[in-house]
Structure 1
Amino acid sequence: MSQTKPIEISKYEVEEAYKRVKANKGSAGIDHQRLLDFDQDKSNNLYKLWNRLSSGSYIPPPVLRVEIPENKGVRAEWHLLKR
């Protein structure tokens, strides 16, 4: 299991980050949770996220980084959820 450490982040910063995602019409993330679903219990979800980040108990899901060659030598980088 990965080591985690507390992140100094305020509840205000978590709320502001949420507002930026919402304004951007953010799509489901790697956890496949849509904003519509998150908003059903927004206050509690934001609190849980803040609590996990600030206590050091938040463990993001593992991802696999894949580079894909494209035209003109440019590479695309994809981050895929490991299952």
Structure 2
Amino acid sequence: MGRLKSQAKPFEISKWEVKEAWGEVRANKGAPGVDGESIDEFEKDLRNNLYKVWNRMSSGSYFPSPVRAVEIPKPHGGGMRMLGIP
């Protein structure tokens, strides 16, 4: 008791890595996730949004949303299968 907790972040994730990942999503014209937010909407407040993502990831409080389920046909017929899109 009486000990100070460490102020260090539990995960070492640089802001540069988050910005690079954003660049890849942007280049791939990523589709909206389960939250429905488009790239254009995210970009309206890009600096703040990237900071929030970095902060939550580096603190260990970021938990990705559930995946979007999409049905795709089986290659040799016989119905459909579910594909999870993160």
Residue 83 of structure 2 aligns to a residue whose secondary structure is: strand
Unaligned runs of 5+ in 2: 1-9
What secondary structure does 1:79 align onto? Answer: strand
Distance change in 2, residues 1:68/1:27 (3 Å): closer
Unaligned runs of 5+ in 1: 1-5
Tell me the CA shift for residue 59 of structure 1.
1.6
Tell me how many residue pairs correspond in the alignment: 76
What pairs with 1:28-67 in structure 2 (closer than 5 Å)?
28-63=32-67
Share of identical aligned residues, percent?
Answer: 52
- TM-score normalised by structure 2 residue count: 0.68
Q: CA RMSD in A?
A: 3.0
**TM-score, length-scaled by structure 1:** 0.70
Superposition pairs for residues 70-81 of structure 1, below 5 Å?
70-72=74-76, 76-79=81-84
2:30 equivalent in structure 1: 26
Task: Tell which structure's C-alpha radius of gyration is larger.
Answer: 2
Q: 1:41 to 1:63 in 2, by over 3 A?
A: same
